[in-house]
């Protein structure tokens, strides 16, 4: 394979020995290492830096701003400093594995996965554009197990209720939406009046607000663009908010600042959530803690996993259970109690005094 992507066939030969002195079997065994060794690709051709430039021009404009920001961070911090000067033809499994192993120290597995996703996206783009790139995939790379996971902050239903009561408007209604529906913060900030269907009692999730640019973008995944139920308690709060707290704006956002623009996640957290948490003496957390709270409370109340998955709009139920189910359910607790009682019952044994232990009588 040449630098321009074309294939040139070359007949190669290797001297294994004289036919009078080397058997066919020995010759085949000596030939095998040459067959296993792939022919070297040319040193010429595009470098990774050139491929990154193509990706920025042709691919990045079609991605979400948040996705591009994350990719640019990966490029600046990890990929370009270590791999930028390499030619695309030099990216072998061994090279990418060594790069991945170097990233693992001091970083979570999720971070390494995200960096690799950016790298493979650029290599795949270069391959589609006709550059000579070896076939290296994520499946070829070995990463360690997850290790010790960090504790995730989340609220319970009582705390959510107190936060809603302690916060000022429009933050109070924002937190009610987050806690009662499990919406992501960006999805909540992207709600418009047209997304509230009081007749069918549903909320249409159609867009999200980017955390930095405050521009509209599609929800996190294709399945995230869906409808969620509007419970009666939330309906009552929304009706009251629209009557007394809604701020008119040209774009029809449910929650708009004085300039008629969407709020930023950082401002809502800093000026709305943290003062309420400080007042209630609850440990600081982010807006995503409301989403964790919704999932945990639904599972604790016995809602089927598929129902909770549909409410959070996860593609995989394992995500719902592993990342958002911070509960020890009643059934699990009762089963463990029974197990412990059985063990304890058999562990209590009356010791009969032996002859050696009996006190002697003088």
The answer to whether the CB of 172 falls within 8 A of the CB of 165 is yes
Give every CB contact of residue 237 below 8 A, 6+ residues apart in sequence: 173, 176
C-alpha to C-alpha distance for 288 and 291, rounded to whole angstroms: 5
pLDDT at res. 351: 46
Q: What is the DSSP string of 73-93?
A: HHIIIIIHHHHTTSBGGG--H
pLDDT at res. 38: 62
Q: Architecture of domain 48-140 in CATH?
A: Orthogonal Bundle (1.10)
pTM of the model: 0.67
CA 74, chain centre distance (Å): 15
pLDDT at res. 43: 47
Q: Is 45 exposed, middle or buried (0-12, 13-18, 19+ CB in 10 A)?
A: buried
pLDDT at res. 349: 55
Tokens of 67: 């996705």
Q: Which residues of the chain have pLDDT under 50?
A: 42-43, 148, 351, 360, 362
Q: Hey, which residues does 217 pair with through a beta bridge?
A: 208
User: Where along the chain do its domains lie?
Assistant: 48-140, 157-324
Q: What is the DSSP string of 170-206?
A: THHHHHHHHHHH---HHHHHT-BGGGEETTTTEEE--
- The CATH number assigned to the domain with range 157-324 reads 1.10.443.10
pLDDT digits (tens, 9 = 90+) for 116-172: 999 999 999 998 888 888 888 888 888 876 554 556 678 888 999 999 999 999 999
Least Cα distance to 288 among 139, 192, 155, 97 occurs for: 155
């Amino acid at each position: 394979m040449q630098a321009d992507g074309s294939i040139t066939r070359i007949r190669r030969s290797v001297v294994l020995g004289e036919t009078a002195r080397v058997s066919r079997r020995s010759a085949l065994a000596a030939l095998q290492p040459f067959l296993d060794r792939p022919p070297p690709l040319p040193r010429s051709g595009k470098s990774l830096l050139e491929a990154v430039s193509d990706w920025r021009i042709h691919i990045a404009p079609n991605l979400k701003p948040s996705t591009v920001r994350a990719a640019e961070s990966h490029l600046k911090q990890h990929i370009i400093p270590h791999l930028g000067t390499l030619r695309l033809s030099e990216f072998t499994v061994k090279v990418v594995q060594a790069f991945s192993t170097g990233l693992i120290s001091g970083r979570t597995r999720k971070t390494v996965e995200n960096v690799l996703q950016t790298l493979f996206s650029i290599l795949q783009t270069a391959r589609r554009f006709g550059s000579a790139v070896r076939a290296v995939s994520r499946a070829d790379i070995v990463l360690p197990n997850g290790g010790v996971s960090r504790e995730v902050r989340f609220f319970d239903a009582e705390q959510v209720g107190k936060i809603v009561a302690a916060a000022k408007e429009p933050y109070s209604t924002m937190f009610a939406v987050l806690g009662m529906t499990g919406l992501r913060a960006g999805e909540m900030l992207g709600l418009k009046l047209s997304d509230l269907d009081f007749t069918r009692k549903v909320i249409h999730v159609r867009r999200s607000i980017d955390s930095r640019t405050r521009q509209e973008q599609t929800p996190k995944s294709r399945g995230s663009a869906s409808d969620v139920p509007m419970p009666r308690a939330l309906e009552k709060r929304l009706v009251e908010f629209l009557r007394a707290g809604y701020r008119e704006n040209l774009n029809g956002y449910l929650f708009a600042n004085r300039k008629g623009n969407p709020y930023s996640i950082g401002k809502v957290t800093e000026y709305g959530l943290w003062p309420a948490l400080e007042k209630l003496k609850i440990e600081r957390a982010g807006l995503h803690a409301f989403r964790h709270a919704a999932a945990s409370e639904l599972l604790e109340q016995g809602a089927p996993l598929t129902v909770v998955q549909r409410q959070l709009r996860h593609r995989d139920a394992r995500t719902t259970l592993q990342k958002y189910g911070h509960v020890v359910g009643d059934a699990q607790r009762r089963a463990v109690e029974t197990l412990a009682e059985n063990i304890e019952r058999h562990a209590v044994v009356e010791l009969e005094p032996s002859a050696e232990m009996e006190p002697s009588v003088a």
